[in-house]
Every structure is written in C-alpha cells, then in structure tokens.
C-alpha cells in the first residue's frame, strides 16, 4: 500500500506561481504584437525619396573676390600761374567738356606782360630792319674799297644780332601769351567734376600748384580686386595637371560686378590683366577689370565684389548642397544602388556654385543621388522608391498638391540620417536655381 503525503502550499508560494503565469502570458502577447508590426512593415510600400540623375558637364569655376572701383581717368585741376581767383565758371558735380573754362584768375598782370613783350618784339624788329639795310649798303662799297672790310663785318654782325633779338622777342611774346591763357583755367579732360576746392578771392600759386578741383571719367570704370597668391598657385598647378581647363571665352574673360546690396550689374566687364608681382604685405595678387557704368551706379572708391570664371572643370557634376554630407572624414552622398537600396558614396567637392556643389569625382553618369526624404529611410539598407526631385519637392508630392513645377517650392527637410553632417537645405527663394540644375541633369 502506497502512502502519499500531502504538504500544505503556503500563500506566498501560490502568489509567486500566479505572477509567473501572468508574466508568461504578457510576454507572449508582446511577441505576437511585434510579429504583427514586423509583418505590417514588410507589407508596406518602400518610402519615396527625391533624387537627381547624375549628368556630367563642363562647369565654369566661379570666383568671387573683393574689389574697389577706380575712375578710368582722373585729372586734378591745378593753378599754373599766381593770382587771385575772380570767378568760378562751372556747376559743381556736373559734366564738363575738355577745354571748358572752369576758373578765371585775375589776368591783368599777365595782360600787361604780354603787351610789354609785344612792344619789345616790335623794337627788335625795327632794329633788324635798320641793321639789314646798313649791311646791304656796305656790301657793294666794300667791293669798291669805299669802306673798310671791318666796317662791313660790323654791319653784318649788327644785322645778325638784330635777328636774334627778334627771335627772343617772339619767344617772350609766346611765353606771355601762354601765361595769359593760364589765367583762364580750362578742363584738361571731359568727365564729371567735383566740388570746387577754392572760392572767389582765394590766392592761388603756381609754385605750390594749388589744386582747384578734380575731374573723373566714370562712364567706364576700373575695378581693382585681389586674389591670394596661394589660390593663383593652385589654379596654375591644376591647369598644368589638366585637372581643369582654361576658360575659352572669346576675347577677354567676362567679369560680373556685385554691389553692396547683392544686386548684380546688368552689363559685364572684362578682365584686363593680372599683376606680375605679389604684394609682400598681404600676399595678394592684384587684378584689374574694365566695367561699363552707363547709369553711374559705380563710384570711385566704392566697395564691390567681382565674379569671374578663370577656368572650367570638365565632366563635373552639379548637386544641390543638401544632398552632400560634409564631415571631418570627408564628403559623401547617398546613391540609390542595386534593388533600389541606398548606399553611401564618397565624393570629391571642387567648389560651390550658387546653391550647388561642384562634384569633381566619385559619381558616374546615370546614377541617382538622394536629395530629399532622408527622414523616411528609417531602416538601413531597406529599398526606397526614387522619384525625380524638383527644387524642394518630389514630382509625386507636387502632383498631389496640384502645384506647378515652376512655382517656388518650400525648403527641403533637414532631419534624418544626413542631418548630422550635411549642409542645410537652401531657402525657398533659392529653390528655382537648384530645380534648374536638377532638370539639366
């Protein structure tokens, strides 16, 4: 006969067993929900991302440099004779013509000197007439031995001395005429004249060359700007290594001038020359451009910025700046690879052009680069659905919103995986420029 002993179960043990059964049931329910969520994600369509198609092209390297405006011609109007200023004969700030009278200096002493020189010349001419007549009379007489040879020589010498006196008198008259003309101060060049630096009644001096006014020609101006010697050296090395090509623009290299408010002059200028020496104090090389200034917006001494294309990059790619992630380890983009799976790709950035980066290497023609929708790629390596990107929104989003592709688009989101090192998306006002680049690609 078998005997079974029944031991009593404590209340604490019974409570522990009940909690264990409840925890097991709860874990099973959570696992079921996770399996259901995974299945739902597996059945969900791949997220849409905006892409641009890589299309290599020749891109001009735009350089923007600071510069100063300088007048093509500058003439300082100065006194060339001593005297008191009697009149100012021009309107300050007006356009003057070459030879136009500007100031009148008291001409009385110079008129008197001119009259005296003319009188001296008349006396010299009278003496010449007398001396020439006497030498003429002595010539046959000396042949007949009626006068001595010495008297004839004296008569000829007196004639030559009288001729010299006449020549000196003519020179004195010319000098007096010039000084009398200097009493009327004329404009040496045509242009715009500034304020008068002297007033009526002021005593001016030819010895000190008193400045009376300044005339400047500003219908066409020079813009002097500087570029670092290091940048010039890198540019020349890249040209020598055939990494870039020299700009083949016909004639001189075109130059665009940007004013202080950001507006660009409508008419481009042309680069005249690059200086052959480096400024030892700043390490800069000076360049000069000639720019039309029909409206007079550019004034001498004004600060401007100059944009010019010194070289071209062959087979370069233009990408919106928001598509590139810039970190200390280098620059990279996200490319839609096989099976529509996004992969990271290292690229080499040459420079910027407006709101775009000039990519020199790292991409092949026809590849699709992700520009928008980084925040949708939550699962690394998961497939995506690439759609063309147009200036801040995808084609599908633009169609759903009923917006025209030519209208300005909102700024692209800056979150997502690329937000850690990427350049922020350009503002909405810059979207059309990026859209144009996307459409070219």
Q: What is the mean pLDDT of the chain?
A: 80
CA distance 246 to 242: 9
Instruction: Assess if residue 397 is contained within a domain.
Output: yes
pLDDT class for 246, splitting at 50, 70, 90?
A: low
Please tell me whether residues 337 and 306 are part of one structural domain.
yes
Q: Check residues 44 and 64 and name the one with the higher pLDDT.
A: 64
User: What share of the chain has pLDDT > 70, as a percent?
Assistant: 75
Please tell me whether residues 155 and 187 are part of one structural domain.
no
Please tell me whether residues 278 and 232 are part of one structural domain.
yes
CA distance 336 to 377: 12
Please name every residue paired with 217 in a beta bridge, in sequence order, or none if there are none: 73
**Domain extent for 94:** 83-102+183-209
Greatest mean pLDDT range, 40-49, 187-196, 277-286, 328-337:
187-196
Instruction: Assess if residue 255 is contained within a domain.
Output: yes
Please tell me whether residues 250 and 176 are part of one structural domain.
no
Residue 274's pLDDT is 81
Q: Check residues 405 and 58 and name the one with the higher pLDDT.
A: 58
Please tell me whether residues 226 and 188 are part of one structural domain.
no
Please tell me whether residues 262 and 334 are part of one structural domain.
yes
The domain that contains 149 carries what CATH number? Answer: 1.10.287.470
First vs last C-alpha separation in the chain? 95
The domain that contains 191 carries what CATH number? Answer: 2.40.50.100
Nearest by Cα to 64 from 255, 296, 303: 255
Residue 214's pLDDT is 96
Instruction: Assess if residue 394 is contained within a domain.
Output: yes
pLDDT digits (tens, 9 = 90+) for 151-193: 999 999 999 999 999 999 999 999 999 999 999 999 999 999 9
**Mean pLDDT score, 391-413:** 46
pLDDT class for 441, splitting at 50, 70, 90?
A: very low
Please tell me whether residues 162 and 224 are part of one structural domain.
no
Instruction: Assess if residue 23 is contained within a domain.
Output: no
The domain that contains 357 carries what CATH number? Answer: 2.40.30.170
Please tell me whether residues 312 and 172 are part of one structural domain.
no
Please tell me whether residues 318 and 284 are part of one structural domain.
yes
Instruction: Assess if residue 75 is contained within a domain.
Output: no
Tally the residues of the chain: 441
Instruction: Assess if residue 21 is contained within a domain.
Output: no
Please tell me whether residues 286 and 191 are part of one structural domain.
no
pLDDT digits (tens, 9 = 90+) for 107-157: 999 999 999 999 999 999 999 999 999 999 999 998 888 889 999 999 999
Out of 84-88, 141-145, 419-423, least confident range: 419-423
Asked whether the predicted pLDDT for residue 32 surpasses 70, the reply is no
- Token pair, residue 84, equals 């008191």
User: What share of the chain has pLDDT > 90, as a percent?
Assistant: 43
Domain count across the chain: 3
Instruction: Assess if residue 25 is contained within a domain.
Output: no
Residue 302's pLDDT is 94
Write the burial class of residue 59 (CB in 10 Å: 0-12 exposed, 13-18 middle, 19+ buried): buried
Please tell me whether residues 424 and 386 are part of one structural domain.
yes
Instruction: Assess if residue 237 is contained within a domain.
Output: yes
Out of 38-42, 176-180, 318-322, 421-425, least confident range: 421-425
Please tell me whether residues 159 and 191 are part of one structural domain.
no
Phi, psi torsion values for 111, nearest 5 degrees: -70, -40
Residue 30's pLDDT is 53
Full 3-state SS string of the chain:
CCCCCCCCCCHHHHHHHHHHHHHHHHHHHHHHHHHHHHHHHHHCCCCEEEEEECCCEEEEEEEEEEEEEEEEEEEEEECCCCEEEEEECCCCCCEECCCCEEEEECCHHHHHHHHHHHHHHHHHHHHHHHHHHHHHHHHHHHHCCCCCHHHHHHHHHHHHHHHHHHHHHHHHHHHHHHHHHHCEEECCCCEEECCCCCCCCCEECCCCCCEEEEEEEEEEEEEEEEEEHHHHHHHHHHHHCCCCEECCCCCCCEEEEECCCCCECCCCEEEEEEEEEECCCCCEEEEEEEEECCCCCCCCCCEEEEEEEEEEEEEEEEEEHHHCEEECCEEEEEEECHHHCEEEEEEEEEEEECCEEEEEECCCCCCEEEEECHHHCCCCCCCCEEEEEECCEEHHHHHHHCCCCCCCCCCCCCCCHHHHCECCCCCHHHHHHHHHHHHHC
CA distance 348 to 331: 7
Asked whether the predicted pLDDT for residue 10 surpasses 80, the reply is no
Please name every residue paired with 291 in a beta bridge, in sequence order, or none if there are none: 221
Asked whether the predicted pLDDT for residue 62 surpasses 70, the reply is yes
Strand 269-278, strand 393-394: pairing: unpaired
Give Cα 63 to chain centroid, integer Å: 8
């Amino acid at each position: 006969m078998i005997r079974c002993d029944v031991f009593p179960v404590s209340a604490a043990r019974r409570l522990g067993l009940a909690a264990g059964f409840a925890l097991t049931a709860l874990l099973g329910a959570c696992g079921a929900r996770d399996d259901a969520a995974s299945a739902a994600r597996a059945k969900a369509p791949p997220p849409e991302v905006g892409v641009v198609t890589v299309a290599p092209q020749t891109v001009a390297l735009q350089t923007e440099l600071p510069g100063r405006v300088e007048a093509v011609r500058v003439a300082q109007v100065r006194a060339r004779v001593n005297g008191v200023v009697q009149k100012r004969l021009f309107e300050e700030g007006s356009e003057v013509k070459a030879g136009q009278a500007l100031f009148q200096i008291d001409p009385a002493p110079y008129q008197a000197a001119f009259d005296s020189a003319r009188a001296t010349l008349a006396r010299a001419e009278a003496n010449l007439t007398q001396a020439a007549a006497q030498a003429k009379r002595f010539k046959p007489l000396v042949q007949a031995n009626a006068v001595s040879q010495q008297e004839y020589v004296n008569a000829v010498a007196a004639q030559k001395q009288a001729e010299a006196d006449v020549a000196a008198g003519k020179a004195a008259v010319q000098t007096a005429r010039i000084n009398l003309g200097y009493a009327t101060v004329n404009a040496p060049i045509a242009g715009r004249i500034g304020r008068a630096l002297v007033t009526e009644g002021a005593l001016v001096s030819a010895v000190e060359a008193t400045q009376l006014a300044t005339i400047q020609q500003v219908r066409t101006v020079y813009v002097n700007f500087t570029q670092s010697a290091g940048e010039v050296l890198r540019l020349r090395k890249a040209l020598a290594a055939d990494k870039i090509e020299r700009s083949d623009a016909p004639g001189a290299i075109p130059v665009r001038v940007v004013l202080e408010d950001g507006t660009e002059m409508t008419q481009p200028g042309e680069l005249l020359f690059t200086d052959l020496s480096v400024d030892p104090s700043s390490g800069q090389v000076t360049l000069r451009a000639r720019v039309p200034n029909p409206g007079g917006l550019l004034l001498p001494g004004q600060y401007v910025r100059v944009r010019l294309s010194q070289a071209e990059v062959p087979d370069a790619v233009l990408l919106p700046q928001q598509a590139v992630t810039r970190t200390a380890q280098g620059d990279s983009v996200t490319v839609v690879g096989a099976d529509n799976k996004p992969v990271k790709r290292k690229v080499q950035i040459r420079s910027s052009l407006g709101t775009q980066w000039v990519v020199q290497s790292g991409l092949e023609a026809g590849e699709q680069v992700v520009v928008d929708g980084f925040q949708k790629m939550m699962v690394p390596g998961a497939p995506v659905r690439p759609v063309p990107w147009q200036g801040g929104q995808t084609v599908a989003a633009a169609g759903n919103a009923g917006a025209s592709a030519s209208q300005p688009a909102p700024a692209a989101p800056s979150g997502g995986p690329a937000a850690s090192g990427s350049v922020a998306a350009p503002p909405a006002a810059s979207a059309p420029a990026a859209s144009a680049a996307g459409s070219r690609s």
